[in-house]
Structure 1
């Protein structure tokens, strides 16, 4: 009823259906059908102290859409605002993108090139964002290995002091120990990185935030605020989607990843060879430095479900696979790009 009331007052919509759908970590999400049969997607924000950041995220999505990049469009309120913030429920309302599936675990065949053509266009557009011009920064700083060490040194005792560990918690503790033991390998992996491009990016361009319609990208969704980040990491985060890595043989996945890199370069010709060639090294190191989602049972146990557990296993296994075969994979990528 609160969602229906907010939609009526703020947007002039009179929904006939309001269906709650799987939530993210920071929003409650709803599928909406209005009296004309038109469909929408509503995001209700839980934290009012983050609304300025949420607004900045929507603005970045609109900036990309204004240049023809495939994104969902925000529906403005009656007062022409991107977010409804004055009523009981802070909310944004989006055009619904029908008949889609996410890219998570679904990067196959022609989708590799299609996804990175779209991502190249997105990054080319965001490179012109007035908030920050692209710069070169040391590639070694893509991961803070010392901070990662501290996070794991806090996480491991937290698991050890838990009275009873379930199956996933027991596995997560072992995975955390494995990653902590690999700290020297991660440092060596980062040490040879050149200077890499940092610019405004999507911010969370993982498989679940890329909607596919057949073999084309229908929309990029869930942008983050316009914070400069490493270009190589965002390319790797999508290309090294753990479920896509593990769903194929390594050789098949590498063929797709190479298609992805070539298509990206065609769509964003300003990208440097160093940025593309460093993606595998950056992606591998970043995954191994991260405590996500291993820390979820300790820090946010309410979000742990079967899907998160599956993702945790896949991410860890994919990172170890990439680390073990990194020289061979990089040589193949170099041969294709140069």
Structure 2
């Protein structure tokens, strides 16, 4: 969700929109305005496209009273069952006291408007925030850990799946990762020319391939770990911070079981925050996060927290994305993705190199 500030415009609901970049965007904004009136009884004074969003088209909306909203337009009808399940999971978390944005129901009391020109959901706008991407410092570590602990404690009661133990070694498949990197390296080698980023991505893919034997040993050392319903996409961009507190966790996935330790580490090892803090400050921050998490979710097994560093290291090293983006999803490649790719690769290799010392520090802090 964007936190950009826009001034309301004047005019009728379908006319008072921000200048679109393409004719198609103008048509979408007009259709969105009509859907807001039809589905929600809301008359927009301003609609502004928010650039973020990979699975949805996102908009900042100001109604005629000056109140701000956040709109998510779904790109296909085929996935609406999954999209609805994601909204329902967010509401389930909110009903349990977790800080989230609230979905606004339609006139028919639906969480997703499906009878207008566009399928969409409408959300309360969380003002004056920034995301946790690259901004985890100081007291924010503990605040994020506590928010995640409350979330996991609540989702452990979700009826879709009860928490269970599964082999830690199954958190990722090294054979699959090795095959993916083989194909990716070959794809880059067959290109007649490579951009500067593609040259770097090829080198990084080779470095990942070379350490997969280490990943196998890490996975073999893992104990059974908790699998339960997760947020599904709990990364830095989906955590909204206000000063040193967590204002909201947003953009839930559907209620799908996954490894608790992976979600803990995925947010705690936000690559940009890892880089900006440096290793020593990062492990201090991560231990603060882990301690606050344990206090907020006291039933979480100690093995899940202690193993989170190994789980995160192995999972990041096995993942070919975003190194694969120029080959598989070239439309996603921009300066931000390139920066993220470099930060994530550097964080993964640093974790691997310093894993014993980092785990010892975490273990000492949790005693």
Q: 1:286-325 maps to which residues of 2 (within 5 A)?
A: 286-325=315-354
Residue number in structure 2 paired with 1:260? 289
List, as ranges, runs of 4+ consecutive aligned residues in structure 1 with deviation greater than 6 Å.
none
Q: 1:119-268 maps to which residues of 2 (within 5 A)?
A: 119-268=148-297
Residue number in structure 2 paired with 1:103? 132
**Quick one: which of 74, 79, 86 aligns to 1:57?**
86
Unaligned runs of 5+ in 2: 1-29
Output one character per residue of 1:180-232: Cα deviation in whole Å (capped at 9) or x when no partner: 11110110111100000000010110000000000000000010110000000
CA distance in 1, matches of 2:122, 2:347: 35
**Alignment TM-score, normalising by the size of structure 1:** 0.98
CA distance in 1, matches of 2:222, 2:46: 52
Residue number in structure 2 paired with 1:276? 305
CA distance in 2, matches of 1:165, 1:269: 50
CA distance in 1, matches of 2:163, 2:236: 24
- Aligned-partner SS, 2:83: helix
**Is the deviation greater in 86-95 or in 62-71?**
86-95
**Alignment TM-score, normalising by the size of structure 2:** 0.91
Q: 1:60-99 maps to which residues of 2 (within 5 A)?
A: 60-99=89-128
How far 1:163 sits from its partner (Å)? 3.0
How big is the alpha-carbon RMSD for the aligned residues of Structure 1 and Structure 2?
0.9
Contact kept in structure 1, 2:34 and 2:117, CA below 8 Å: no
Larger Cα-atom Rg: 2
- Aligned residues, how many? 338
**Is the deviation greater in 293-302 or in 198-207?**
293-302
How far 1:67 sits from its partner (Å)? 1.1
